[in-house]
Amino acid sequence: MITEEQLAGMIAEAKKTGSKKFKQSVELMVSFKDIDVKKGFSMNELVQLPKTSSPAAVCVIATGDMAQKAKQAEADAVVGDEEIGGFASNKRESLKFINKYDFFLADTKMMSTIATKLGPILGPRNKMPAPVPFNTPIGPILQRFRSSVRIKGKKNSLGATCKIGDESMDDADLAVNAHAVLGAVEKKLPNGEKNIRGIAVKTTMGRPAREARDAK
């Protein structure tokens, strides 16, 4: 597996390009080999990052006690049945709402309602809520999602990408995050590291810095 030192070098190289007009994200890209995507392989993993500069935005869909506890835990938003019904009747507003948040959590008893009313919009964007059972402490779950990213490949694609931080972070911290994501990816691949063709790092508007691997 590529080392954190090697990743830090790639990150430093990637930061040299791109826009200086705004703070760019830093993205990790992984390409695969010797995998038959027609047999149902897909990459869609939630990974908790060791280092974060800004937390992910998390919305909790709940009512009653769970909603109250989510507010106390300072969720970015807490919405209930009434709001969900309103969003379902207005696709434009529902899209604005969905795009504000990186992750959604929901009371398990509301999952069927969410699937019916918002599923057609949340599903294709890979934002269906993670169910939270009754009486489960919501605070620790919120904290975990706030420091997480999702690495996902497009359908029938031999590659996946995710954000590992932004260019204001130290190269070493970004490398730690990249290493954590790659570890999760390797566990998902049929033959681990042998299925990785190449790794690249880039800023939002920059050129990729690549670590190519020999095909075997």
The pLDDT tens digits of the residues spanning 84-115 come to 888 878 888 888 889 999 999 999 999 999 99
Judged against a pLDDT cut of 60, whether residue 213 lies above it is answered with no
pLDDT tens for each residue of 138-148: 999 999 999 99
Q: Where in the chain is the domain with CATH 3.40.50.790?
A: 58-145
CATH topology of domain 58-145: Rossmann fold (3.40.50)
pLDDT for residue 163 is more than 90: yes
SS (H, E, C) the chain: CCCHHHHHHHHHHHCCCCCCCCCCEEEEEEEECCCCHHHCCCCEEEEECCCCCCCCCEEEECCHHHHHHHHHCCCCEEECHHHHHHHHCCHHHHHHHHHCCCEEEEEHHHHHHHHHHCHHHHHHHCCCCEEECCCCCHHHHHHHHHCEEEEECCCCCCEEEEEEEECCCCHHHHHHHHHHHHHHHHHHCCCHHHHEEEEEEEECCCCCEEEECCCC
Distance from C-alpha of 160 to C-alpha of 105, rounded to nearest angstrom: 24
Considering the chain, tell me which residue range(s) the CATH 3.30.190.20 domain(s) occupy. 4-53+149-212
pLDDT of residue 60: 97
41-66: average pLDDT:
93
Q: Does domain 4-53+149-212 have CATH number 3.10.129.10?
A: no
